[in-house]
Chains A and B, each alone.
Chain A
Amino acid sequence: MNGPLIVQSDKTLLLEVDHELADACRRVIAPFAELERAPEHIHTYRVTPLGLWNARAAGHDAEQVVDALVEFSRYPVPHALLVDIAETMDRYGRLTLSKHPAHGLVLTTTDRPVLEEVLRSKRVAPLVGNRIDPDTVLVHPSERGQIKQTLLKLGWPAEDLAGYVDGEAHAIELDENGWALRPYQRQAVENFWHGGSGVVVLPCGAGKTLVGAGAMAQAKATTLILVTNTVSARQWKHELVKRTSLTEEEIGEYSGTRKEIRPVTIATYQVLTTRRKGVYPHLELFDSRDWGLILYDEVHLLPAPVFKFTADLQARRRLGLTATLVREDGRESDVFSLIGPKRFDAPWKEIEAQGYIAPADCVEVRVNLTDSERIAYATAEAEEKYRFCATTATKRKVTEALVRRFAGQQILVIGQYIDQLDELGEHLNAPVIKGETSNAQREKLFDAFRQGEISVLVVSKVANFSIDLPEATVAIQVSGTFGSRQEEAQRLGRVLRPKADGHQAHFYSVVARDTIDQDFAAHRQRFLAEQGYAYRIMDADELLTDTE
């Protein structure tokens, strides 16, 4: 009894990483437990019903889970917890959605009382048709997503074995010329294809786009790709042309400016969720072709209406790509029921250790407000407080000092407030990319940055997502969207791409001391600290005197 794992009564699992059996243990618990925190010594996993059902969907049974816990646990595992795990896992698969040769889509059960229970629910009743036999009930094909969502809410997740339509075939090959899918990417594609639909969790910079491309090469069918914004859409297009046999002409962009529908179409969430007079005019996109695969980029940002559309697309293969399953709105269960169970994940540190993402040095620089700023801060309205402390003049000095220190490297300055950014741009003599910058202008600037023609770029939150800036080695964050952990991870992701010369990336977060800026920063950093990215804290004075 000296295993690496400690099972807590609140269903968290603590894994001592320095233990000799830690790796073996990690491998057996990863399928059913969600990695919650991965700081340096003890990793925390959490066992949730969704996690257990994910494991069931991946073919693990309760016996394996219980055995894994009992085998690796340092202390006796509470009996109640084992019973609970077995019972929870047992709930998955009692109900199955499948295709009946005569009746079409049916819901069958191996446990009649469960079927009786769910059929008595008011929410299930409108989704089902006639009872064919005591264990089988008809389901309207259009309600396939709805019923999965509802059953999950009732605690009886249904296993979807109804299969997929192949969709319109379209030849897509990976063009592995001078590069190759990394082993974990290959594994992710394989797991996804084997599972049918689901979500692949990879850290920013770990090459999620290539996993998407790999999945398309597997499907060899027309593909609809949903991304967060236009820049990201261009990025996808660029990457697909480069990495696959697809040509520019085969890839369409469906966004606010262009409405192309081609064998591979990249659409933005924003255009899909545009509403005019209470209807979504761009919904037809989903039906405009016989799609064989639907890709969701950044699943954790999927807007609520897209879930609704997705519910109607259950007959098509769906692949979700994300850096985290944690959603700030708590709709993880919708991701599970509508897109699919988690098919693959790998912690950041592991991929970093394999050399696929750059190691990063994260530093929080604390600046003091001046006395007059402190008075202004104290008297500011609550909603203005963050703006006051986040845009303190000292931050500018610190940023300038940092830029001086890393002169010659590719530096991104990221912030929330346009005035602040404009001011910084002026002082640093660097171009500013913000909401009003045209897409053409953005691409031009990005390109210049990539080529090394510009070494400092000031960007607002428009650059948060999916822009590949390969040689950015330093990121300086001066303000953010309050306490968004999500954003922090994305911004760190900007500098995590492996560097050509392999040198370290730097991530600086400039924070005003003793203000809510500091509280927000703590909240933002928590996610990364839990992922093993420890922040150092520095005083601004220290930094300023150093560089002087």
Chain B
Amino acid sequence: MSPETTAPRSLAEALRARDDASLSALLRSRPDLITPVPTDLTQLATRAGTRASVVRALERLDRFTLQTAEALAVAREPATYDELLGLLAGDDNDPTVTAAFPHALGTLREQALLWGGDDRLRLMRTARELLAPSPQHPSPTGLGPTVGEATAGMSPGRIQEIVAAAGLASTHDSVSAVASLSALFSDRSRMSALLDEAPAEAVEVLSRLVWGPPYGQVTAEPAAHLRWLIGRGLLLPTGPGTVVLPREVALHMRAGRAHRVTEPLAPPVEVSATRRPQAVDAAAAGQAYTTLATVEELLKDWHEGGPAVLRAGGLSVRDLKRTAVALDVSEPVAAFWVELAYAAGLLASDGETEERYAATPAYDAWLELPAAERWARLASAWLSATRTAGLVGGRDAKDRTLSALGPGLDRSAAPEVRHRVLALLAELPEGAAPATDSLLARLYWERPSRSARPAPDDLRARLAHWTLSESELLGVTGRGALSAQGRALLGLPATADTKEAEPSGPGDKLPAHKRHHPVTAPVPHSPAERAAAATRAAGLLAPLLPEPLDHVLLQADLTAVAPGPLERPLADTLGVLADVESKGGATVYRFTPGSVRRALDAGRSASDLHAFLAAHSRTPVPQPLAYLIDDMARRHGHLRIGAASAYVRCDDEAVLNEILADKRSQEFGLRRIAPTVLAAQSDPAGLLTGLRAMGFAPAAESAEGDVLISRAHAHRAPPRAAPEPVPDGPPVPDATLLGAAVRAIRAGDLASTAPRKEDPAAGRPVDGGLPRTSSAETLATMQAAVMTGEAVWIGYVNAEGAASQRVIAPIRVEGGFVTAYDHTADEVRTYPLHRVTGVAELADDQS
């Protein structure tokens, strides 16, 4: 396609040939490549080829692009455009595949997973390793090794027999024999002729293996039809008792397709129901109102000391249950509200010694906002939060319960899935609710997990489910369809019709840096854009929310009905004066003796309450209610209760007058509560001494009112154990401990005395010290040791800072860790390289 003079010979060269736009497209789609910014293109290419980065990139491919990559991994390397297309479209050239193919190829090329011209398509090496089939990791295509790979290591004689049986000209060169066999299997017409001769059972066996897994078991004495297959190389042995179907044969039987089902097109999201957009918006607004009411109720419930923070963080199961009951919702829903308030910064731990959850100052500020803005704050916090309430109640990898507000609830994929789900809803016509299954199928197509078909416990599927239910709870959607305010919140224009013209991507040098269809809507927007979207959503929502009322209806059955949301001061006062009986669009309050007493306790007087009710009731105050208030007020405060630590009682009131008049009595905090009784704040003993000092002769009284007779009594400590004797030196060790100690000492000795190769560059340490080498040398020596399989001597500092010497045989050096057989500890261990102070080779007689 592109008029190239010299084909690139490596990924780095291919990158070098790209223009700036295409490079920035690469960096946009794989942002991990620029943290930190690479120094040059070679480093960029190297980093793009690291395993972690490639896995990340592959995981973000849509299904068809991934299938393209998988097909390329089983194709000849390098493959041509047509060869690869053939693997996807099959021999019958599926036109939809042909149409979608250039875009998939473009995506792979943009992400530097594929390079080379259309005549020499190469999958990046790491990607190929990840996707190519091996006995340990069967390919998703279900294809086995090629004839060439499967016959490697087979005796030339055996190959000759196969070639002869297959009816090919015999040649003594094994390589050309394999090539001709492979050519035979790849040739559709000759192959068909060969299979026509095959016994029916043999064809049956082949068709069982054709879609994978391609491996089968045979007995030592295979049946005749199996012998026929094995004899002609249609099944090749891979080990004792196992055979494999070579890739060429499978492809022939699959009519050239690498996948059983090629899915070139994104499955559409189906509509399950369509409702009037106004009804959707109204339903969503109703739910938005509930959201506000619930969050307020939650934090009000926690007003006077919320639940305690667990030591491991989070809310205890019991507190969550209690909250669920208080909010009259199920526990998962309660967890959602709690997490929502947390994500919006409205509640947090108070940070005291006895940590409790409490509303934040931001909550007070939030309360002052207009209702629609309050909702927008919550909804945008939800949209971008990585915390997922749906996980609450589940268990983490270590089988610990995940608690609400606790650690371990962050899922970085959550915001992206939420955005994607809502964006998909936004693509539907207004008022249309999606069929959940089709939505999940679409999400799965966009991000297939590489392992298997969609599993019910797949995180993205669960996130999508939660998104649907949570957006319904929040009122982002109404009756299943995206509301206008929800649409605005996403930062999408009001109408769904936003199809851009398909840009036609030029050739190799300018891969598809203009996206054909946004596979993942970039989690958008600067904070400013998000704020603007939220404001717009609030603007749309505001007219749909009910206006706060300033009145209630009082009824003779001692209830008050607020036929809509109440103005806050009214709601607050009524909330004290009456119990809430039913919530929703309206609120039903019930006056009970208890609730009226609560209002009286809160410092209201009966006349206050009468005035309050008269002012806010649209109907006359019913007589039984007025009676209830007067009745309670009459009895309220009739009995008085206070705390005193001692009392003084005297039948002669004059003596008590005298005590009160005396300045010295001030320290006792005396108060006259009856003509003959004083209550004191100081304890009885202090009072007794004090009054004696003042010249009185008080006597102490017992709880029963008898005079206490003071008498000395013996003082005792609580039960205590006698002290343990302190022996001289540690206890005598037992045999096990001794054995272990000796072994450890000997091993350490080996490590420190092992003769090492003299290496002046390695800066050989003084005897007994740790070896010191630079980190580059350490790495080089380790890698060399992996190759040669030799043991080395290292200095190592553990996490506590204790240095030790060890003799290890490195097995693998990867990601900053060395995995090695540790002779000192006699097991395989992994050491972080940065903790290795230095390394030295052992003298030959020790390795």
Known contacts being A12-B582, A514-B635, A537-B627, is A75 close to B546, with CB within 8 Å?
Answer: yes
Residues 539-568 of B, flagged 1 when their CB comes within 8 A of A and 0 if not, give 000000010000001011111010110000
Query: A7 CA to B283 CA in the complex, in Å?
Result: 12
Q: Looking at the complex, which one of B289, B478, B586 makes contact with A14 (CB distance below 8 Å)? A: B586
For the complex, is B624 an interface residue (Cβ under 8 Å from A)? yes
Determine the chain A residues whose CB is within 8 A of the CB of B631 once the complex forms.
513
Contact B556 A535 (CB under 8 A): yes
| Interface status of B622 (Cβ within 8 A of chain A) | yes
Q: Which residues of B contact A9 (CB under 8 A)?
A: 290, 328, 583-584
Contact at A537–B624, with CB atoms within 8 Å? yes
Shortest CB distance B184–A (Å)? 55
Contact B582 A40 (CB under 8 A): no
Q: Encode A1-34 as 1/0 by CB contact (under 8 A) with B.
A: 1000011111010101000000000000000000
Contact A8 B584 (CB under 8 A): yes
Q: Given A8-B584, A8-B588 in contact, is the A76-B282 Cβ separation under 8 Å?
A: yes
B584 engages A10 (CB within 8 Å): yes
List the A residue with the shortest CB-CB distance to B586.
Answer: A6
CA distance A40 to B472 in the complex (A): 36
**Nearest CB of chain B from residue A85's CB, rounded to whole Å:** 14
The proximity string for B residues 717-750 relative to A, scoring 1 for CB distances below 8 Å and 0 otherwise, is: 0000000000000000000000000000000000
B287 lies within 8 A of A530 (CB):
no
Q: Which residue of B lies closest to A42 (CB)?
A: B561
A537 to B557, CA, bound (A): 13
* Chain A residues numbered 11-64 whose CB sits less than 8 Å from any CB in chain B: 12, 14, 16, 37, 39-42, 44
Per-residue CB proximity of B255-290 to A under 8 Å, as 1/0? Answer: 000000000000000000000000100111111011
Q: Are A39 and B557 in touch, CB under 8 angstroms?
A: yes
- B669 at the binding interface (Cβ < 8 Å): no
Contact B561 A14 (CB under 8 A): yes
What is the chain B residue whose CB lies nearest that of A12? Answer: B582
The interface centre, meaning the residue of A42, A513, A534 with most chain B CB atoms within 10 A of its CB, is A42
Contact A39 B556 (CB under 8 A): yes
Of A10, A39, A76, A537, the residue contacting B555 (CB under 8 A) is A39
For the side of the interface on A, what is the size category? 20 to 34
Given contacts A9-B290, A534-B622, A537-B627, contact A75 B585 (CB under 8 A): yes
- Given A14-B563, A41-B561, A76-B286 in contact, is the A6-B555 Cβ separation under 8 Å? no
- B787 → chain A, closest Cβ, in Å? 64
Complex Cα spacing A78 to B583, Å: 12
Determine whether B192 belongs to the interface, using a CB cutoff of 8 Å to chain A: no
A residues in contact with B556, CB < 8 Å: 39-40, 529, 534-535
Q: How far apart are A25's CB and chain B's nearest CB, in angstroms?
A: 14
With A41-B561, A79-B472, A535-B624 in contact, is A10–B553 under 8 Å at CB?
A: no
Given contacts A41-B553, A537-B627, is CB(A529)–CB(B328) below 8 Å? no
A513 to B546, CA, bound (A): 43
Tell me whether A536 is interfacial, beta carbon within 8 Å: yes
Given contacts A529-B556, A530-B557, is CB(A78)–CB(B478) below 8 Å?
Answer: no
Residues from chain B with a CB closer than 8 A to the CB of A1 are 282
Give the chain B neighbours of A534 by CB distance below 8 A. Answer: 556-557, 622-624
- Bound together, the chains give a CA A530 to CA B557 distance in angstroms of 6
Residue in A14, A37, A70, A537 whose CB lies within 8 Å of B623: A537
Asked if B283 and A77 make an inter-chain contact with CB atoms under 8 angstroms apart, the answer reads yes
Given A6-B585, A39-B555, A74-B585, the answer on whether A79 and B563 have CB atoms closer than 8 Å is no
Task: Say yes or no for A220: interface residue by CB 8 A criterion.
Answer: no
Q: Taking the nearest CB of chain B, how far is it from the CB of A78, in angstroms?
A: 7
Note all chain A residues with C-beta closer than 8 A to B582.
Answer: 8, 10, 12, 14, 44
- Find residues 65-119 in chain A having any chain B CB closer than 8 Å to their own CB: 70, 73-79, 82
**Contact at B478–A76, with CB atoms within 8 Å?**
yes
- Indicate if the CB atoms of B559 and A39 lie closer than 8 Å: yes
B420 CB-CB contact with A under 8 Å: no
Query: Shortest CB–CB separation between residue A467 and chain B, in angstroms?
Result: 28
Q: For the complex, what is the distance from the CA of A1 to the CA of B290, rounded to whole Å?
A: 18
Q: Are B585 and A7 in contact (CB under 8 A)?
A: yes
Q: Is the CB of B553 within 8 A of A42?
A: yes
**Complex: how many Å from CA A40 to CA B558?**
11
Across-interface contacts of A526 in B (CB, < 8 A): 557
Complex interface: chain A residues within 8 A of B561 (CB): 14, 41-42
Q: Do A76 and B627 have beta carbons less than 8 Å apart?
A: no
Give CA–CA (A163, B418) in the complex, Å: 55
B residues 287-306 near A (Cβ < 8 Å) are 287, 289-290
Contact across chains for A76 and B285 when beta carbons are under 8 A apart? yes
- Contacting A at CB under 8 A, from B576-627, are 582-586, 588, 619, 622-624, 627
Chain B residues whose C-beta falls within 8 Å of the C-beta of A42 in the assembled complex: 553, 555, 559, 561, 563
**Which residues of chain B have C-beta atoms less than 8 A from A78's C-beta?**
286-287, 290, 584
Most buried by B among A8, A70, A536: A8
Contacts of A76 in B (CB 8 A): 279, 282-287, 478, 585
User: Does the CB pair B286–A77 fall under 8 Å?
Assistant: yes
A44 touches B588 (CB 8 A): yes
Residue among B328, B586, B619, B623 having the largest count of chain A Cβ atoms under 10 Å: B586
Query: Which A residues are CB-close (under 8 A) to B283?
Result: 76-77, 79
* Distance, CA A514 to CA B628, complexed state (A): 11
B460 at the interface (CB under 8 A from A): no
**CB proximity of A64 to chain B, nearest CB, Å:** 17
Smallest CB separation, A539 vs chain B (Å): 10
Q: Measured between alpha carbons, how far is A283 from B627 in the docked complex, in Å? A: 52
Q: Does B479 contact A (CB under 8 A)?
A: yes
Query: Which residue on A lies nearest to B288, using beta carbons?
Result: A76
Do the beta carbons of B586 and A8 come within 8 Å of each other?
A: yes
Docked-complex contact A8 and B583, CB < 8 angstroms = yes
Contact B585 A10 (CB under 8 A): no
Tell me the smallest distance from the CB of A270 to a CB of chain B, in Å: 34
Q: Please, which residue of chain A has its CB at the minimum distance from the CB of B479?
A: A79
Contacts of A73 in B (CB 8 A): 585
Q: Once the chains are docked, how many angstroms separate the CA of A10 from the CA of B282?
A: 20
Which chain A residue lies CB-closest to B623? A536
Residues of B within 8 A of A10 (CB): 328, 582-584
| Structural contact, B585 and A8, CB atoms closer than 8 A | yes
Check if B563 sits within 8 Å of A40, measured CB to CB: no
Tell me the bound Cα distance from A8 to B622 in angstroms.
24
| Contact of B282 with A14 in the complex, beta carbons under 8 Å | no
Closest to B546 in A: A75
The interface bits of chain A over 525-546 (1 if a CB of B lies within 8 angstroms of the residue's CB, else 0) are: 0100110001111000000000
User: What residues of chain A lie closer than 8 Å to B279, measured between beta carbons?
Assistant: 70, 76
Chain A contacts of B557 at CB under 8 A?
A: 37, 39, 526, 529-530, 534
Query: Which of A12, A70, A79 lies at the interface centre, i.e. has the most chain B CB atoms within 10 A of its CB?
Result: A79
Contacts of A536 in B (CB 8 A): 623-624
- Residues in A neighbouring B478, C-beta threshold 8 A: 76, 79
Nearest CB of B to A84, in Å: 13
User: In whole Å, how far is B254's beta carbon from the nearest beta carbon of chain A?
Assistant: 39
Instruction: Point out the residues of chain A lying under 8 angstroms from B623, CB to CB.
Output: 534, 536-537
Q: Which residues of A contact B555 (CB under 8 A)?
A: 39-42
Residue of A nearest to B620 (CB): A40
Closest partner residue, chain A, to B618 (CB atom): A41
Contacts of B287 in A (CB 8 A): 76, 78-79
Name the distance in Å between A196's Cβ and chain B's nearest Cβ: 35
Q: How far apart sit A425 and B217, CA to CA, in the bound complex (Å)? A: 104
Question: Across the two chains, which residue of chain A brings its CB closest to B329?
Answer: A9
Partner of A41 from the list B619, B624, B627 (CB cut-off 8 Å) is: B619
8 interchain residue pairs of minimum CB distance:
A76-B286, A8-B584, A534-B556, A75-B585, A529-B557, A39-B555, A6-B586, A9-B584
User: 26 A-B contacts, Cβ less than 8 Å apart?
Assistant: A8-B588, A14-B561, A14-B563, A16-B563, A37-B559, A40-B619, A41-B555, A42-B559, A42-B561, A44-B588, A75-B289, A75-B586, A76-B285, A76-B478, A76-B585, A77-B283, A78-B286, A78-B584, A79-B479, A514-B635, A526-B557, A529-B624, A530-B557, A534-B557, A534-B622, A537-B627
Known: A39-B555, A40-B556. 8 other contacts (CB 8 A): A9-B290, A12-B584, A42-B563, A78-B287, A78-B290, A82-B479, A537-B624, A537-B627
